[in-house]
Structure 1
Amino acid sequence: MRVSVRSSLVASAALAVLVAMPTAATATTATSGAATATIETSQDQAQTAGHPTTNLKLTRADILKRSKSWIDERVPYSQSSFHTNQYGRYRQDCSGFVSMSWGLRDSRWTGNLMEVATRISKADLLPGDALFLHQSGGTQHVALFVRWADSAKTQAVVREQYRTGTVASERTWSASRTSRFQAIRYKNVIEGDARTCAVVNENHLRYPKLDQGATGELVKAAQCLLTSAGFNTGADGPSGTFDETTANATKQFQVKVGLPASGSVDSRTWTALLSRGGTPQVQDGSSGDAVVRVQRSLNAAVGAGLNVDGLFGPKTTAAVKQYQSSRGLAADGIVGPNTWKALQAGK
């Protein structure tokens, strides 16, 4: 379905985007079984009980549970109305629905949803990921992925806010429709058990080699890093025991990044796991998650013994130079594209 872009984006089949906020306020009630929810419009997206103040970290089970709430409540599609339930208050269009499901602080639209997501291969889609299309001056839509309807993985089962006159629902897309969309993943999705992975410490001064039979907190860290990379280490979250399932997940990750598939988490595998993520240039004075990943991976790669605090200071600069020199890179102390590439390849 094609759409035109004027002062706001007009709704049509398979389209839901951000439009100018309305000025009038109305309220009705939608009830499904024991569930009662308020549908309202307002000049802004006011905070309500249960509405997150920051983008949440959620398991896939959390995401699916949240998405089902709108289906159960039969929330009607609207680009101007907002729906409130126990999960907060969100705009009733496609991107508002995905924003609610992912636990975002704001109702995003297709033009800025990728700020909180990353592109993945369709072959890697898991429940709670999304199918996304944003064409300038054309079709713009996003839907939550639930499962594949066929063994060939060509027909997606999705949950979505679809178009005016419909309510939130679960639908099966045709192969031709599915093929038009890109696969994306929420950056804050927690693989495995949120209650355990969320509290596992992945920051250590040393990362010794782990083989089958190993136990302890470092095994949990490896298991959480592997599951966040998309490899299954067990249905019940990090066990702290390096079993056959963990070894197989390790082998799969090693193959993906081009390392020997030994099944052991050695220094090269640790380095690749710990440095996964975005690759912004960081250097003396930088701070944040990217610096944390640099410090962790240097502790694994060259035994730097850095305090993992996310602050890029003289000690981190010296460790970066040591790593760069030992890998044949320009030893400038700056983590740029070549240094990131080497770290994420486990060199």
Structure 2
Amino acid sequence: MEFSDVEPDQNCSCAGCSARRLARLRAAHPRDGGHPSARGARRAAVLVAAVGTVLGGATGAIAATGPRTGDTSDSGQGIPDAPQGEVSDLYGDAPAAETRRAAAAQPATTRAEILRRAQTWVDQQVPYSMSRYWSDGYRQDCSGYVSMAWGLGSSQTTWTLPQFAERISKNDLQPGDALIYNNPTNPGAGSHTVLFGGWTDSTRTRYVAYEQTRPGTTKRSTPYAYWSNSGSYVPYRYKGLSTPQPAPDAFPGADKFGPGKVNPYVQRLGEMLVKRGGARFYHEGPSPDWGEADRKATEAFQLAQGWRGAEADGYPGKDTWDYLVNGKGKDIPPAAAPATPPPPPTAPAVPAFPGADKFGPGKVNPYVLQLGQQLVKRGFGRNYRQGPSQSWSEADRLNVQAFQQAQGWRGAEADGYPGPHTWRLLFS
């Protein structure tokens, strides 16, 4: 008789499939994310398989681990270097029986609380490790990170996290959900999970991913569903998620907005501002996490109403909330086009040449004074001892001659008496 090895469905929660998935994870070599006792587990698995063959049973063989594939993504990300440890209680104590079975009662939490916890590791830049535990008790790998964010009382694995969640579709994804990829040929080192933080664009091709991978926790824009193995990631929603109540129309209070605030009111504010013309301020879309985009969009809306000073500080008060909720006031205007630079100043017109007969010994008129003043302005007034005047003098002739020579003229062209050409060049 021939027996075929059938892999258990990752969504099946029966005792047999759960035990087999756990056994496969424990069988992985330590370098691939398995437990140090992996050799013993593999020997036990071989023994079980051998006994099953002798007795004519249908016991399946544990899947062998394979080498990690290379980076094939267009962004240089590839499969994350994020092997994971075994299911364990907080701070790495031996897993209790109820933990291995996946707790039937899950602690209630909210999406905002999930993202708040996820952000704490981002802020602290928790280093990646499949064997160490952070100060909050959770294992410092990808599945430990999601376990922490979901508020589970233990560090799970990518194979056991689905037992705490329900499978959803891509269109149902909301902040706080998870994307899980399980590699049946390399469960310890080839599988991965990230937290979904919200779409970054209307086409739903990229999203904000909260992720634990080497060298530490990251929050970044990621192509859906991931840099590699994109078609194999499955969306899940934590079963203990509290159903959020519809946001009331009443102003929730100024203490709900500002740096460090994470709650549904922040996201609702952003969504209302987008509808009123504030989309350009959001590069990743509104979220429960307050950011500078929320402040700038709020300020733009307040300024559009004609408010100034403390009334347009970028933080919503009762009036701002009332205007947004009830569709009052003016929308945020489009971004102003760059101001057109003023045209260059028009060069002053050259005064008409009064004639050569106005210059020379004995000549006294306003044109002599005008000539002298322009010579001084152009830097050719060194021969004046008392300054230009309306009376022609030898100082006028010498200064005109110096200007003509500076043009490269010689002889009769540099005699010190202005002609039309000298006059035009001097005043242009």
Which interval holds the TM-score relative to the shorter structure?
Answer: 0.3 to 0.5
Normalised to the residue count of structure 1, the TM-score between the two structures is 0.43
Q: Greater share of strand residues, 1 or 2?
A: 1
Q: Which one has the bigger helix percentage?
A: 2
TM-score if structure 2 supplies the norm length?
0.35
Larger CA Rg, structure 1 vs 2? 2
